[in-house]
Structure 1
Amino acid sequence: MRAKWYRRSLIVPLMALFVTVGCAGGSTQNAGSVKVIAEWASTEQANFLSVLKPFEDSTGIKVQYESTRDLSAVLRTRVAAGNPPDLAAAPNPQLLTQFAQQGKVIALDDKIDMSQLKQNYSQSWIDLGTINGKLYQVYSWVSLKGLIWYNVKAFQAKSYTVPKTFDDMVTLQSQIKGTGTTPWCVALKSGGADDGWPGSDWLKEIVLSQSGPDVYDKWVAGTQKWSSPEIKAAFTTWGKVLGPGDDSNVFGGSKGITNTSFKTGGNPLFTNPPKCYLHNQASFITTFFQEANPNLQPVTDFNFFPLPDITASYAGAHVVSGDAWSMFHDSPQTRKLLNYLTTANAQVIWVKKGGKISPNKQTPLDSYPDPISKESAQILVDTKIGKYDATDLMPADMRSAAWKACLDFVTNQGKLDSILATLDQVQATAYKSS
């Protein structure tokens, strides 16, 4: 029977308190090592390594970090071969759930300090990592999805205003088109088997804001058909943004959308003149903005507004995601590292660098390095309807089919009924085997 570990609500309060949690003392000679694997690369990898440094310096434990964009494939291969890492941080917790059901990962209830975890984390985050009554996953950093980014100076030069509703945003889109400029930048390429996932973010945000949390939960659970009016409506609403497939609505048209990396998809916002004016991506994207354009400054050069509400009764709805840690090998070193990663003093190191939000309630809001990061965290505090990333909670076959469907829809919106029928077929079998 499938572990029913998704939750009806995810509301993450953040409190402006700081608790320093020290690492274990004692001799650091011959302290051992821990093998860790995650997707973080480039600037994100550097930020994670900066988190590890105080731990390594204090304990003497060496952390051997490996980065891969094909994390799911690498983990499946190594688990099957009996050679998994000690710890893994996966952005799709359903994969780790499958490993837990197979007995391949270790329950954490007696491996980490649960009293400290319950003090520092809201129950919603703990519930997300709980499978059949046991804790298998914990989160250290999260991202807020559904943020529409724009070039502040370009917006001001054109006297554009931030839209309050989705219809207002469509009107703004038409206004931008009227000047002969493409309104949107959209990029769905990831460079691996997960191509298409940024498109699924559009769908999640629209489903939640348009049809509400009950439909969203049924969709996650596999009881809401993809061909249902609500999910079909989400695709057609997204289609209003995408336009006819040429470059009238989106820079580069459908070919540009499917062949541009999500990491660089927002960069045309900052050309002179801008090649687009709007870009939808999660809070982590600021890292990539500044990686490509080091002189860009939050608020003065770039800012965001949340995807505007579609249905008034579901106002203030937001989707979040995160990287879930699971343990494959138990050792004193692995326990120490995992306990450290759940503390505020570990998480705040990356928080201060930007691009990540801490789920730890003891992380103070003034730790965030700029008003944009702080506002992202504050939105989580104020979220009225919060849900975890839907496709990350779906079985692997369903998730992969959803990502492919987004690519297919971008390429040919006229095939929507066929795309939805295929998704229904996958849904009918994917949940039985998960």
Structure 2
Amino acid sequence: MLKKLLVVLFIFSFLLSACAPAATPIATVDEPVVEAPATEVAVVEPTAAPVVEPTEAPVVPAGPNAELTDAKAGKYAGTTVTIMGPYTAEDDIKFRAAMEPFIASTGINVEHEGTADFNTLLTVRVEAGNAPDLAVVAQPATTKLYAEQGKLVDLSSVLDMDQVKEDYIQDWIDLGTFDGKLYGIYYRASTKSLVWYMPAEFEAAGYAVPTSWEEMVALQDQIIADGKAPWCISIEHSGVTGWVATDWLEEIVLRKYGPEVYDQWVNHEIPFNAPEIVDSLEEMGKIWKNDAIAYGGKDYILNTWVGATQNPMFETTGTGEDQKLDSKCFMHRQAGWYLSFIPETQRAASNFFYFPAMDEKIGKPILGAGDQIVQFNDRPEVRALVQYLSSPEGGKIWAMTSGFISANKNVPLDWYGNALDRSQAEILQNATIFRFDASDMMPAEVGSGSFWTGMIEWTNGKDSQTVLDEIEASWPK
């Protein structure tokens, strides 16, 4: 197992060299080999088999994770695997770092292309017959679509399924399974039901962390009375703008009407514009459409990049020794991975609390999401990388830095490099009421289409009923 000091030195050296364009190969470094997962078995020599297209019968491995075992023996050294996903900026750097132990121990080159326009570009490449070997997909509906088109490899032929069942709760496995076949394995998970804040600022202003929706409303009133805005909110995110708003609506539906109505909504067993959903959007509007509550009003919400949403929280006054925080807004509802976007100088002073429940009878539900690894091309070196990324070691380096929670429940909590990530991981590992992001479960035409654009229009002034009627009309027949 890598010593923490070596990891720190490795990450530092990697950051100095990670300025290459997104699609260039990741340079191999002389890094000690990460120990193989305890579940690996003795090497069994694989029988020769031709590379096949995903639509044909998959190659049967010679044993659990046989390709990864062979890769570590140098059998595929010099080959290249391409992977495309939404990880950019700091996430791109950390994802590349997480794959370095695989590269160092196998000699396989990995080319990662991270882009904010991932959904659009992936569609273009798949339709052109130029799909990457692997992709990091956030929406289960997108995975299902490619599976139905025969574009994906059945991962049950790639992974040791007994080990998968040991490493993942059944909900995660089910989310990547369609028609009885596993097409997506979850890599990164996120806890969305969190509210980021600055404890020192709360204490200085005399604010208490709310534990119920009623207490949160009272806190909003108190902050407004003090001349500040309670919430930092924004949604601009290039080609995927709108998901922040859909997350908020999902949180409120789950809290106000419970998991049964939430599931019916996701599965279109009730219409998208059902009264419960209209009411939930109106509830959301009490925050989003009140300029006294949402910092900067709709102009700030619509035009500010999601990575800068919280910046007014960190504004300062004075200079030198007299400089101190002068927050313009105090709360930001966002997933746990958002720590990566908080200014480094403020990370240690930041914390989160649970987004309050609305109904004691429903309890305290957790809304979350995650990124699946899907496989388009079936070659041994590609299989080896899938096997590595699905193992606890596949996320170890990223977990030890920050901004990463593994969907793999057997990632030790002490691997997480800070208390915030460790707390989120523990929440996920011990979750009792957990629901996946609704928009990610809906047909792609809605979940990453009309739902996103509809919420942009709603934020810009269109009424709730009209927006939800239009989204309902867009649902595939």
TM-score using structure 2 length: 0.82
1:358 offset after TM fit, Å?
Answer: 1.1
Choose which of 352, 357, 361 in structure 1 pairs with 2:400.
352
TM-superposed CA distance for 1:297, in Å, is: 3.4
How far 1:356 moved relative to its partner? 1.7
Q: Is 1:311 matched up with 2:364?
A: no
Q: 2:309 aligns with which of 265, 269, 280?
A: 265
Retained in 1: the 8 A contact 2:367–2:435?
yes
Residue 255 (str. 1) matches residue 299 (str. 2): yes
Contact 2:86–2:116 (CA<8 Å) still a contact in 1? yes
In the alignment, which residue of structure 2 is the partner of 1:75? 122
CA contact (8 A) 1:187 1:256 kept: yes
Distance (Å, rounded) in 2 between the aligned partners of 1:318 and 1:29: 42
Aligned match of 2:332: 279
Q: 2:459 aligns with which of 403, 410, 420?
A: 410
Equivalence for 1:377: 425
Q: Which has the larger radius of gyration?
A: 2
**1:325 maps to what in 2?**
373
Deviation at 1:28, TM superposition (A): 6.2
1:136-285 map, 5 Å: 136-192=183-239, 194-244=240-290, 246=291, 248-272=292-316, 273-285=326-338
Return closer, same or farther for 1:21/1:34 CA change in 2, 3 Å cut-off.
Answer: farther
2:439 maps to 1:391? yes
Q: Secondary structure at the match of 1:143?
A: strand
Cα distance in 2 for residues equivalent to 1:62 and 1:311 = 51
Q: In structure 2, what is the Cα distance between the partners aligned to 1:151 and 1:271?
A: 12
Amino acid at match of 2:330: Y
Deviations 1:386-432 (A, max 9, x none): 0111001111221211112222222226x2221122122112xx2x3
**In structure 1, what residue type is equivalent to 2:298?**
S
- 1:86 matched to 2:133? The reply is yes
1:294 to 304, 319, 344: 344
3-state SS in 2 of match to 1:352? helix
Cα offset, 1:294, TM superposition = 1.8
Kept in 1, the 8 Å contact 2:398–2:404? The answer is yes
Percent same amino acid at aligned positions?
A: 34
Native 8 Å contact 2:184 2:373 kept in 1: yes
What is the CA–CA distance in structure 2 between the aligned matches of 1:92 and 1:173, rounded to whole Å?
33
**What amino acid does structure 1 have at the position aligned with 2:308?**
T
Greater mean alpha carbon deviation, residues 76-85 or residues 354-363 = 354-363
In 1, Cα distance between the equivalents of 2:75 and 2:150?
Answer: 33
Letter in 2 for 1:306: Y
Contact 2:80 2:110 in 1 (8 A): yes
Aligned residue in 1 for 2:12: none
Contact 2:39 2:163 in 1 (8 A): no
Instruction: Return the offset for 1:133.
Output: 0.4
- Residue in structure 2 matched with residue 10 of structure 1 by the alignment: none
Which structure exhibits the higher relative contact order, with contacts defined as CA atoms closer than 8 Å and separated by 6 or more residues?
1
CA distance in 2, matches of 1:187, 1:153: 23
The answer for the alignment partner of 1:56 in structure 2 is 103
Shift of 1:30: 4.3
- Counterpart CA distance in 2 for 1:157 and 1:198 is 29
Matched, 1:105 2:149: no
Secondary structure in 1 aligned to 2:269? coil
Contact 1:409/1:419 (<8 A) preserved:
yes
Aligned to 2:17: none
Q: Which secondary structure state, in structure 2, belongs to the residue aligned with residue 412 of structure 1? A: coil
Query: Residue 170 of structure 1 contacts residue 241 of structure 1 at CA under 8 Å; is this kept in 2?
Result: no
Aligned partner of 2:10 in structure 1 is none
CA distance in 1, matches of 2:85, 2:181: 23
SS across alignment from 1:212: helix
Give the letter for the 1:252 counterpart. G
Contact 1:316 1:384 in 2 (8 A): no
Give the TM-score of the pair, scaled to structure 1: 0.90
How many residues were matched structurally? Answer: 403
Residues 303-323 of structure 1 show CA distances to partners (whole Å, capped at 9, x for unaligned) of 111110011111120111111
Provide the alpha-carbon RMSD of the alignment. Answer: 1.6
Unaligned runs of 5+ residues in structure 1 are 1-17
Q: 2:84 aligns with which of 37, 56, 61?
A: 37
Alignment-mate amino acid for residue 412 of structure 1: G
What SS is found at the alignment partner of 1:321? strand
Partners in 2 of 1:418 and 1:337 — Cα distance? Answer: 46
Distance 1:390 1:206, change over 3 A: same
Which residue type is aligned with residue 78 of structure 1?
R
Counterpart residue identity of residue 177, structure 1: I
Q: Secondary structure at the match of 1:180?
A: coil
SS in structure 1 opposite 2:346?
coil
Which of structure 1's runs of 4+ aligned residues deviate more than 6 A? none
Distance 1:370 1:104, change over 3 A: same
Tell me if the contact between 1:143 and 1:321 (Cα under 8 Å) persists in the aligned partners.
yes
Amino acid at match of 2:168: Y
Report how far residue 140 of structure 1 moved.
1.1
User: Conserved in 2, the CA contact under 8 Å of 1:314 and 1:385?
Assistant: no
